[in-house]
Amino acid sequence: MTTVSQAVDSATASATRTAVCAYDRLTPDLGVAALVGGQQVAIFRLSDGEVYAVQNLCPFSGAYVLSRGITGTRGDVPTIASPIYKQVFSLLTGECLVTMDKEPKPGIAPDLAVYPVTVDNGQVYIDLAGGE
């Protein structure tokens, strides 16, 4: 469902980034959702200050809810758990680490798209084109 626009040249990626909110608007470990170019993105500021962005769509329920999940770690990997059926995903790669013995909805990949985030001058930017 989250289609990444291939039309944008990655060399110009910095020009494709979108400002979503002030860094201070993000509470540690509490996600927010943002609408970026029609896409729903889930953004997390973790307790170490790092910010990550992934698709907001939960592949296993088909609902746009990941911003409302619980952040955590598995080993050293920062994670987000879906609030619906509790699957756990890596915030670094989007990989689904715990499937809870479920299959994703038909036509949706189990892993998440992750988007580069930059914090510039107190502003948080998401780069949809840099998504994978």
Partner 1 sequence: MSDTKKIVVVGGGMVAHRFVEAMRDRDTDGQYSVTVLAEEPRAPYDRVALTSYFTHKDPDALALGDPSLWEDELVTLERDALVESIDREAHSVTDRYGREHGYDHLVLATGSYAWSPPVEGSDLPGVFVYRTVDDVAELRRYVEDRSKGLGRPVRGAVIGGGLLGLEAAGALQELGATSTVIQFADRLMNLQVDEGGGQALTRLIEKLGVTVKCNTATTAIKPGKDGSAGSLEFADGGSQLVDVVVFATGVRPRDELGRTAGLDMGERGGVVVDDTCLTADPDVSAIGEVACIQGSCIGLIAPGNTMAEIAVDRLLGGDSTFPGADTSAKLKLLGVDVASFGDAFAKTPGALELTYADPVAGVYKKLVVTDDARTLLGGILVGDASAYASLRPLVGSEVGGDPAGWLLPEGSVERPNVELPDEAGVCSCNNVSAGAIRGAVTEHGCTDLAGVKACTKAGTSCGSCLPLVKKIVGTELEKSGIEISNALCEHFDMSRAQLFSAIQVSELRTFSEIIERFGTGRGCDLCKPAIGSILASLYNEHVLAQDRAALQDTNDRVMANMQKDGTYSVVPRVPGGEILPEHLILIGQIAQDFGLYTKITGGQRIDMFGARLEQLPSIWKRLVDAGMESGHAYGKSLRTVKSCVGSTWCRYGVQDSVGMAIALELRYRGLRSPHKLKLGVSGCARECAEARGKDVGVIATDAGWNVYVGGNGGFTPKHAVLLVEDVDDETVFKVIDRYLMYYIRTADRLQRTAPWQEEHEGGLEAIREVILEDSLGICADLDEHMARHIDTYEDEWKAVLNDPERLAQFTSFVNAPDQPDPSLAYVEQRGQRRPATQDERDSGAVLIAPSTLEVRS
Please give the residue ranges that form the binding site for partner 1 (CB under 8 A): 19-21, 25, 27-30, 32-36, 40, 43, 46-48, 57, 61-65, 68-75, 78-79, 81, 83-84, 86, 88, 105-106
Q: How far from the centroid of its chain's Cα atoms is residue 24's Cα?
A: 18
Q: How far is the CB of 111 from partner 1 (least distance, A)?
A: 18
Q: How far is the CB of 32 from partner 1 (least distance, A)?
A: 4
Closest listed residue to residue 75, CA positions, set 52, 55, 92:
92
Q: Which is nearer to partner 1, 33 or 119 (CB)?
A: 33
Tokens 């540690």 label which residue? 28
Q: Which is nearer to partner 1, 10 or 56 (CB)?
A: 56
Q: Which is nearer to partner 1, 61 or 130 (CB)?
A: 61
Start-end of H helices in 1-132:
13-16
Closest listed residue to residue 85, CA positions, set 63, 112, 52, 56:
63
Q: How far is the CB of 83 from partner 1 (least distance, A)?
A: 4
Q: How far is the CB of 93 from partner 1 (least distance, A)?
A: 17
Q: How far from the centroid of its chain's Cα atoms is residue 62's Cα?
A: 15
Q: Which is nearer to partner 1, 10 or 38 (CB)?
A: 38
Contact yes or no for 89/65 (Cβ under 8 A): no
For residue 44 the two structure tokens come to 């997390």
